[in-house]
């Protein structure tokens, strides 16, 4: 994934397309996997809920 895929410009404002890590704070994105979100910096993991 490239950095330009993490952001989008809407109405002259930058919109971030990924979630931030709640432990590390703004600037550290969570990686999105099939069944979970995870932080590569601190190891924080959230599992997605099954439908």
For the chain, give every domain's residue range. Answer: 20-51
pLDDT at 51 (0 to 100) = 74
pTM higher than 0.95? no
pLDDT at 23 (0 to 100) = 96
Question: Mapping DSSP to helix (H, G, I), strand (E, B) and coil, where does residue 30 land?
Answer: coil
Sign of dihedral through CA atoms 15, 20, 24, 30?
negative
Q: What is the pLDDT of residues 1-38, one digit of tens each?
A: 788 888 899 999 999 999 999 999 988 999 999 999 99
- Reduced DSSP (H G I as helix, E B as strand, rest coil) percent helix, strand, coil of the chain, to 5: 5, 45, 50
């Amino acid at each position: 994934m490239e950095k330009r895929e993490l952001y989008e410009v809407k109405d002259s404002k930058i919109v971030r397309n990924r979630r931030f890590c709640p432990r590390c704070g703004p600037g550290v994105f969570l990686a999105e996997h099939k069944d979970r979100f995870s932080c590569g910096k601190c190891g924080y993991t959230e599992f997605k809920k099954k439908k």
